[in-house]
Structure 1
Amino acid sequence: MDDTEALNRVSEDHGITAPNRPAADGPGPRRKALTVVAVLVAGWIFIMGMVVSYSEALANPTLNNATIAVAGNADAIVGLLQEDSIEVTVVADAAAAQAQVLDRDADAAIVIPAPGGGEVTTYVATGASRVLAAAAGTIGGQLAEQLGTTNAVVDLAPPSEHNPNGTLEFYLVIFLTLGASFGATIIGRVLGPIRTAAEFLTRAGVLIVLSTALAAGASFYATQLFDGITGEHGWAYFGALAFYCLAVSGAVTGIASLGGTVVAGVVSALFVLLGNSASGGPFGVHMLSDFFQVVRYIVPQTWGLELLRDIEYFDASGIGGPLVALSVWAVIGVVAALLGMFRHTLANRPGNARPAKHVSAVAIGDDAPDHDARRTPTHEAITAVGPGEHRELERTPAAV
């Protein structure tokens, strides 16, 4: 005789009626409708936010706060200082002007001869931003026209012939951001929050595998299918992409462990909503409005894109800033995960733990009073005491 049959016999012998349990029918129609409405509204806000963000940032790129190194004619330099859209850095000569561009201290450089002394020379880096390079060339051309001479544009960092518009780096960053951030969110949902040191190390290993896989695929595409894009810096390119993915996924994982999956999802959505636009895309950050030029310091996409361009076009000059910024995001993830672990430890200290629950129903004889029920998800016991008999039955909740 199984537990269910024994329970039924005891109940019949002593007049015990098992309490009715409400069926778990799930949320009612009204709640379902409200959930659908909430999802649709949130999705509408997100999509419209992307439309506005991308349109405002990238639809009409305009020169804004670009740094131009200038050498030569003092009178012409004074005229450039009046330009609101650029910041002028005066250098000694043409060599210093070129060094400013190659070291990424300036977005372009202009060497201005004395009146009648030759042509204007404009140094640009088309690989970093074709649009910004064209804008700098226009400024150099206007100066040459004022001086009655010509303007020679010299490209110090031309893009690969397989990537003439310099867009591949942007695509790699934005899609790896999606893979790293939402991948980390899904992994966190499956594995749960980080509660112990062992779980911290395990999660770190999982994120390393995720980041390595994403970076390997992207690097193979960039260096093999489009041979020549990264030149001799293929391994550096792979390392940069892996570090970027690890920083993003680590930050999202730590935030999820501390604040929950919903918070991590919101952070991932903000990366997509604002980060892709604030990175400047193929146009460069100095073609963005003031608002996005502030946001660019916060989001990781800016620094991932700058890191790739530093490696690809400038022989790794200026990688310090991007590496530090991405390291900050990685540290945020570690600190958030540790805080989540610490909070869990405090919540489970002796005296702070919640009391365990138990379910029992007791019936005594034919005059049994209403039973006292306290529920636990894993165990139930019903003890029936009648004339000359005592029996205890254990079963799972599904048997009631």
Structure 2
Amino acid sequence: MSEQPAPTTEAPTAEAPTTGAGSVRKLAAVLLGLTAVVTLMLCAFALPSIHSGPHEMPVGVTGPDGTTQALQQKLDGEQWDVTVYDDADALSSAIKDRDVIGGFALSATGIDVYTATAASPTGSSALTALGSTLAAQQQAKATVHDVVPYPEDDPRGSGFAAAGLPLIFGGMFPAVILTRLFPGHGALRTRLTGAVLFSLLAGAAVTALLQYGTGSLTGNYWLTAVGLSLGMAALSMTFIGLEALVGFAGLGLGAALMMFLGNPLSGLGTGPHWLPSGWSTLGQILPPGASGSLLRANAYFDGIGATGPALVLAAWVALGLILILVADRRGAKAARTVAPSGAAAPSPA
């Protein structure tokens, strides 16, 4: 009697389902997530613009006591923060010292409007319009004096406003490229060194182009270049630290935060007082906003008002260093854990 061969059984090959309830749930989650991202992007860019305008913008007034006090009471509120000065010279000095962004000198013959376009072009336009309205009510004339204008070669400040994206990409690109070219824990210090050197070179190059190429900046070249370098280093070192700790997801999260929050809230083209107070505060503690404020202070106001944004950027540099050090220690600990077991493993016969 012959033996029947035992039937062979093969385990079915597991294939990812392409249809069914699982795929529907996955597709729905992806669509909802993408919709949420687009909506958040719209909120980040649109809401600050919709609610933009003077928000407790500091202005000064001077003139006869009765008229000055009446104007102060009329303007003081959510839009304007009014300070009274002794005379027009004191008001002009306050503008140069960045205590106020402009103001009005009242007299019997008219109104002198003092502005600082380099401090806030939109604020200067709003003050000019308000001065014309006040003068028309008195059937007088408004005369505008731009105390701190943009340079003659770039009177609209186009070069300064265009510096926002290079500041962000100047921190993002080196982090991505250095991580790709020098991957792994062993090259972490190489990436850090590359980020610092790139920030110094790029800061010097961008400042040279804006100051000597387009004439968009004035002030001390080296001071401005160091400020730009500090802003780029704050971004690139933070990105490298995030990538070293949690991978490209961390780098992507940091880049999205800077692009979709830091950029629209920086106040680079308008000045921070043109944004609602909460948005303005958030924008100024993120590197793009702090970099823009530092650039404005160094380029047009001889460094007046540079301390605050410089400290913010230094804090971001310190955060990047901390993230890098934590990642470096974690990588070194992992290497020490693997090395003994590898040495103890018997070699194959």
Q: Does 1:58 align with 2:49?
A: yes
1:80 corresponds in structure 2 to: 74
SS in 1 for 2:99: coil
Residues 159 and 32 (structure 1 numbering): CA distance in 2 closer, same or farther, change over 3 Å? farther
**Residues 31-180 of structure 1 aligned to structure 2 (within 5 Å):** 45-58=36-49, 61-72=52-63, 73=65, 74-113=68-107, 116=108, 118-180=109-171
- Show CA shifts across 1:201-230 (max 9, x none): 43332012322343244234323431x322
2:200 corresponds in structure 1 to: 212
The letter of the residue matching 2:93 is A
Aligned residues: 334
Distance 2:178 2:30 in 1: 22
2:326 corresponds in structure 1 to: 339
- Report the CA distance between 1:171 and its aligned residue: 1.9
Distance 2:56 2:145 in 1: 22
Which has the higher Rg, Structure 1 or Structure 2? 1
The letter of the residue matching 1:130 is P
Q: Does the 8 Å CA contact 1:121/1:154 hold for their aligned counterparts?
A: yes
- Show CA shifts across 1:261-300 (max 9, x none): 2112101111000111101231222222344223213211
Distance 1:359 1:200 in 2: 28
Distance 1:210 1:47 in 2: 32
2:265 corresponds in structure 1 to: 278
Distance 2:150 2:298 in 1: 12
Q: Does 1:264 align with 2:264?
A: no
The letter of the residue matching 1:156 is V
Q: Does the 8 Å CA contact 1:253/1:264 hold for their aligned counterparts?
A: yes
The letter of the residue matching 1:170 is A
Q: Does the 8 Å CA contact 1:63/1:86 hold for their aligned counterparts?
A: yes
Q: Does the 8 Å CA contact 1:58/1:281 hold for their aligned counterparts?
A: no
Q: What 5-or-longer segments of structure 1 have no aligned partner? A: 1-22, 361-378, 382-391, 393-400
Distance 1:343 1:184 in 2: 20
- Show CA shifts across 1:8-45 (max 9, x none): xxxxxxxxxxxxxxx9x998868999999988776665
What TM-score, normalized to structure 1?
0.71
SS in 1 for 2:284: coil
Distance 2:74 2:243 in 1: 49
SS in 1 for 2:144: strand
- Report the CA distance between 1:190 and its aligned residue: 4.5
What TM-score, normalized to structure 2?
0.80
Residues 252 and 54 (structure 1 numbering): CA distance in 2 closer, same or farther, change over 3 Å? same
Distance 2:152 2:229 in 1: 25
SS in 1 for 2:103: strand
The letter of the residue matching 1:132 is G
Runs of 4+ in 1 over 4 A off after TM superposition: 25-48, 345-350, 352-360
**Residues 313-332 of structure 1 aligned to structure 2 (within 5 Å):** 313-332=300-319
1:202 corresponds in structure 2 to: 190
2:296 corresponds in structure 1 to: 309
- Per mean C-alpha deviation after superposition, the further-off stretch among 151-160 and 178-187 is 178-187
Q: Does the 8 Å CA contact 1:71/1:92 hold for their aligned counterparts?
A: yes
SS in 1 for 2:264: helix
Q: What 5-or-longer segments of structure 2 have no aligned partner? A: 1-12
Distance 2:161 2:29 in 1: 32
Match of 2:210 among 219, 222, 225: 222
